Amino acid sequence: MDKGVLVLKKLIWRALIALLAVHYVFVASLKPVLSWLSLVLFFAAVVVIFFHWRKEKALGSGVAVRRLRAGAIILLLVLCNVLVELYAHENLVRGRTALVGATIITGELDAADIRDGTVLISDDGKIVALGQKESLAVPQGYDVVDVSGKFIMPGLINAHAHMWMEGGDPQKPVDFSSYAAPRIVRKLGMSAIMSYPGLRVVASRMERNVQSALYGGVTTLRGVGDLDFLDVQLRDQVARGERVGPNLLAAGKIIAITGGHAAEMGRVVDGPVEARKAVREGIHERIDHIKICATGGVADSLRIGEAGELQMTPEEMRAVVDEAHRRNILVTAHAESAAGVKEALVAGVDNIEHGAIFDDEAADLFLNNPNSLRGYTSLHPTLSTLAGGLIINDETENHPVISVMNHNAAMLKEQFYGGFEKALAHGILVGVGTDSGVVAHNKVWVELKLFVEHGGVSPARAIHMGTLATARSIGVQDVTGSIEVGKRADLLVLARDPRDDLSLISNAERIIVNGYHHMPRE
């Protein structure tokens, strides 16, 4: 054989071996759980490679033997890679459980507590019986958990999350400095994230973020814009009990316009045909709902006023809504001005994210929206995003990027809070969505506190809003959101009454999701 071809073949073999080894180290370093077998095999492969190449140099053994050895090394490394994927999950278990003796807050508005209550949970994670201890005997075969003196409430639902980002404390001022990098650096950073290794890192961060949400008392987390449909993948892994996390709902990529808000991370469309196509693509990727950007936003604004400016056209929004509703899928719209809210409502979106101070005509459309899937539209005011105020000083005011973002954010804060108050006054369905990812995933209780402070609602009603009302808003009220026979066991066991201190919700002793028990403090 030609010597050049031989050298080329050798190079290809070596490149393949090197690639597999690097991939193993890279993937293994991201995994929370690693099997011993994969580690042992990997080191065996490294030893074989070392001696193989040393011997080859010394003796120059026959082509057939060399091929056999190289093949064996590749096989070993492939096996390592498969094993690391196979064993890197939690194998959560669930079984028949009886929680006995707690005060049960059902999540229904104005419902009386069940005192000294018992909840029976089946081995497929459903609530099968509920009642007072003395009238509800625990059948045989149930693990009894004594929760006397404690409180049980439905797990929180967060309707607005970006699982791929981490977010800061919503009670602290928003720091826009991370957005202040030069445009070229931001673009390079985004391409690095969207590359194969970048997305692997993002996927592992997403696992950490949704776990943080769970430990903050969230049992259902609705993503409204993540990268490359990684949210769909994680949703399925959590549902199979292979990952620790709340029940997830996935939007996949945000649908945005060229140069518009979230265009960098989303699916860019221009015109109704492309808009409809993007919905079809999302449905093909098995998303749960559609997210669009009706207006600009803060995080990528370059001019003062850009945040609420109209972006997607009414025709584009109509195409999205029509296609999604044909498939029984809800559409939610990022809308941060009165005009944007109105256009999105007219198009028939089912939820408004953020919102603005809208007029009475818009209020009527919220309550009775003929183009929406269910006849009404709800609001997720995301008060948490700007609750902690902004960092305003000489440095931020003189910075060309940060000053713009600060001005836009200040303008929006007024709109979000004003829209929230108006929605409550009109009896519009208001749900909890914190924009977690922008703010921390485990601080959803802060949104409830803001509802109490700015909406004048009682803590009990705020809990209802963060559970059953949000379930209705996102269309999962038949499966979760309250403690009710037939629904999923998505609930929190708390040491004290959360109505006395809403922050207790993020300190649950036991979090049950779909029947899987999680004990954050252990």
Q: Which is closer to Zn ion, CB of 435 or CB of 490?
A: 435
Residue 120 Cβ, how far from Zn ion at the closest point, in Å?
A: 38
Collapsing DSSP to helix, strand or coil, 239 comes out as helix
Q: Which is closer to Zn ion, CB of 306 or CB of 435?
A: 435
Residue 428 Cβ, how far from Zn ion at the closest point, in Å?
A: 20
Question: Which phi and psi (to 5°) does residue 4 adopt?
Answer: -60, -40
Q: Which is closer to Zn ion, CB of 88 or CB of 264?
A: 264
What residues have CB less than 8 Å from 56, skipping those under 6 apart?
66
Residue 23 Cβ, how far from Zn ion at the closest point, in Å?
A: 33
Q: Which stretch binds Zn ion (CB under 5 A): 76-84, 215-223, 251-259, 429-437?
A: 429-437
Residue 294 Cβ, how far from Zn ion at the closest point, in Å?
A: 13
Q: Which is closer to Zn ion, CB of 106 or CB of 434?
A: 434
Q: Which stretch binds Zn ion (CB under 5 A): 204-212, 435-443, 449-457, 478-486?
A: 435-443
388-390-394 Cα angle (round to 5): 150
Q: Which stretch binds Zn ion (CB under 5 A): 13-21, 53-61, 141-149, 434-442?
A: 434-442
Determine the size of the site formed for Zn ion (CB under 5 A): 1
Q: Which is closer to Zn ion, CB of 298 or CB of 504?
A: 298
Q: Which is closer to Zn ion, CB of 333 or CB of 493?
A: 333
Element (H, E) at 119: strand 114-121
Residue 353 Cβ, how far from Zn ion at the closest point, in Å?
A: 6
Count of CB atoms situated within 10 Å of the CB of 132? 12
Q: Which is closer to Zn ion, CB of 228 or CB of 435?
A: 435
Q: Which of 426, 319, 423, 309 is nearest to 371 (CA)?
A: 319
Tokens of 120: 């029976």
User: Measured at CB, which residue is nearest to Zn ion?
Assistant: 435
Collapsing DSSP to helix, strand or coil, 2 comes out as coil
Residue 130 to residues 96, 420, 495, Cα–Cα distance (Å): 14, 35, 20
What residues have CB less than 8 Å from 202, skipping those under 6 apart?
164, 193, 227, 230
Q: Which is closer to Zn ion, CB of 224 or CB of 512?
A: 224
Question: Which phi and psi (to 5°) does residue 23 adopt?
Answer: -60, -40
Which residues is 310 bridged to in the sheet?
Answer: 295
Q: Which stretch binds Zn ion (CB under 5 A): 277-285, 314-322, 398-406, 432-440?
A: 432-440
Residue 422 Cβ, how far from Zn ion at the closest point, in Å?
A: 21
Q: Which is closer to Zn ion, CB of 323 or CB of 435?
A: 435
Residue 57 Cβ, how far from Zn ion at the closest point, in Å?
A: 57
Contact 399, 393 (CB under 8 A): no
Residue 237 to residues 45, 125, 471, Cα–Cα distance (Å): 30, 16, 22
Q: Which stretch binds Zn ion (CB under 5 A): 177-185, 186-194, 433-441, 508-516?
A: 433-441
336 lines the binding site for Zn ion (CB under 5 A): no
Q: Is the dihedral of CA 68, 69, 70, 71 positive or negative?
A: positive
Residue 232 Cβ, how far from Zn ion at the closest point, in Å?
A: 18
Instruction: Quote the CA–CA distance of 406 and 402 in Å, as a whole number.
Output: 6
Q: Which is closer to Zn ion, CB of 28 or CB of 256?
A: 256
Residue 436 Cβ, how far from Zn ion at the closest point, in Å?
A: 9
| Structure-token match 């909890």, residue found | 432
Contact 188, 462 (CB under 8 A): no
Instruction: Quote the CA–CA distance of 522 and 518 in Å, as a whole number.
Output: 9
Residue 224 Cβ, how far from Zn ion at the closest point, in Å?
A: 6
Q: Which is closer to Zn ion, CB of 316 or CB of 435?
A: 435
435 lines the binding site for Zn ion (CB under 5 A): yes
What residues have CB less than 8 Å from 185, skipping those under 6 apart?
none
Contact 214, 244 (CB under 8 A): yes
Q: Which is closer to Zn ion, CB of 226 or CB of 435?
A: 435
Q: Which stretch binds Zn ion (CB under 5 A): 23-31, 309-317, 431-439, 466-474?
A: 431-439
Contact 262, 311 (CB under 8 A): no
Residue 324 Cβ, how far from Zn ion at the closest point, in Å?
A: 18
Question: Which phi and psi (to 5°) does residue 479 adopt?
Answer: -110, -25
Looking from the CA of 289 toward its CB, the CA atoms found within 13 Å total: 23
Instruction: Quote the CA–CA distance of 516 and 245 in Å, as a whole number.
Output: 10
231 lines the binding site for Zn ion (CB under 5 A): no
Residue 132 Cβ, how far from Zn ion at the closest point, in Å?
A: 42
Binders of Zn ion in range 114-133 (CB under 5 A) = none
Q: Which stretches of the chain bind Zn ion, using CB under 5 A?
A: 435
